[in-house]
Structure 1
Amino acid sequence: MPLSRRTALLALPALLAGCSTTPVPIARMPYDPSIGFADPARQAIIHTAYAFAAPASLADRPWEAAEAISQAEFLTIELTYGPRWIGMTFSPGAFVQARPEWRAALGIDQSAEPQAVIDAFTAVRYAYGGENPAAAAAALRPPLFTPGGEAALRRLSALPPLPRTAWAASLAQREMWAIQRQNSVGNNWE
């Protein structure tokens, strides 16, 4: 029985990953009760597109900036390796190119594992949710963050414009909507 074209396209990243000697990085967003069981990738695409297009919305809201940056870290991996995003042509590379920008702005080690960054920013969000800013500062420690602590929290509270990041997020949102429109008109390649 021949495979459908869609099935073959979806299997391609898994086959290519099996040929590589480099392990595929993994990034997961934690469960967020405020969104329930909504799709974390779609939520991240929508939120980052808004947040980085309107950076003033993040000013003095380090928990919001932490969420947007952790979502960008997640999308860098998810859009590059997630088989369901195979229709995205440009945004996976755009996030990879933008990552040095947001990491430099926040003093994040350029070689850090994405999940370590996501986990640190999740701790920041939970600390603020628990009204414990000291715990938020403690989550941003060296060597992952330089200088770390309160200084890293101040950077998070006053993110500069991140044009590459804003472009990547906007591009991802456009591509996601295009894929959704394509799928909604019945073109499922079967």
Structure 2
Amino acid sequence: MLPRLPRLALLLLLAGCVTPDLPPQGYATLPNDAVQGAGDPTRAAIIGTAYAFGNPASLAGNPAAAARAVANYEYLATELPYGPRWRGFAGTIGPEFAAGLTELRGTLGIAPNAPAQPVVEALYAASRAFNAGDQAAAERSLSGPIFTRGGPATLQRLASLPAMPRVAAATAHAAQELDRQDRLGSPRGVGGGGGGGGGRP
């Protein structure tokens, strides 16, 4: 029989070997209104962010749409590199989304160490408020320690996002990988994933 301490150390070592990597900013999920109808939120986020950040002029003057695009990117940065559903994607997706996240957060003044979930929730709340004509509520949603520039400045930045080449490259590559998986008939690229999670255990 193994002594107590070595056995415990062995169990901890084995547990460490099978523990999956976790996103540095934690996992995130998308809200129920991330996509209309019964569509797949993750697929919609991949396609939508690729278009939005590949065509930044489409977001000009539309902070509500920009807030959703940024929130979707935050979600994808936790989901695509770590969700089991997307293991068929190229291994470079993770580093590309990490580099894009640094660029995105620096551009908007989002705290670099902020967990992804509250960022997603705040951006969607701001988008809903702005669409409802309540700019003050939108600004409040973007206030607090997560958004270092404050609500009004962040909302103004969302209304005039500059081109972000790393973000655009990451989202374009994700869309290409989604298309490739679809053409290969991979089950990981199709079907519902709910509000994120991608089938994570």
Q: Same fold (TM over 0.5)?
A: yes
Instruction: Output the CA distance in 1 between the equivalents of 2:22 and 2:39.
Output: 31
| 1:96-148 deviation digits (Å, cap 9, x = unpaired) | 11101010110000000011110110111110222111100111113111121
Give the number of the structure whose alpha-carbon radius of gyration is greater.
2
The answer to whether the Cα contact below 8 Å between 1:91 and 1:171 also exists between their aligned partners in 2 is yes
SS at match of 2:81: helix
Structure 2 runs not aligned, ≥5 long: 1-14, 187-201
Residue 19 to residue 94, structure 1, CA distance change in 2 (3 Å): same
- Residue aligning to 1:73: 74
- Residue aligning to 1:164: 166
Letter in 1 for 2:141: A
2:95 to 88, 93, 96: 93
- Residue aligning to 1:133: 135
Letter in 1 for 2:95: G
Residues 1:45 and 2:46 aligned together: yes
| 1:72-102 deviation digits (Å, cap 9, x = unpaired) | 0000011011111001112232111110101
The answer to whether the Cα contact below 8 Å between 2:45 and 2:73 also exists between their aligned partners in 1 is yes
Percent identity over the alignment is: 41
The number of residue pairs the alignment matches comes to 170
The answer to whether the Cα contact below 8 Å between 2:35 and 2:44 also exists between their aligned partners in 1 is no
Residue 168 to residue 149, structure 1, CA distance change in 2 (3 Å): same
Shift of 1:37: 2.2
Letter in 2 for 1:177: D
Instruction: Output the CA distance in 2 between the equivalents of 1:20 and 1:134.
Output: 41
* TM-score for the superposition, normalised by structure 1: 0.83
Residues 1:116 and 2:128 aligned together: no
Instruction: Output the CA distance in 2 between the equivalents of 1:100 and 1:33.
Output: 23
State the superposition RMSD in angstroms.
2.1
Shift of 1:18: 4.2
The answer to whether the Cα contact below 8 Å between 1:91 and 1:175 also exists between their aligned partners in 2 is no
Structure 1 runs not aligned, ≥5 long: 1-14, 185-190
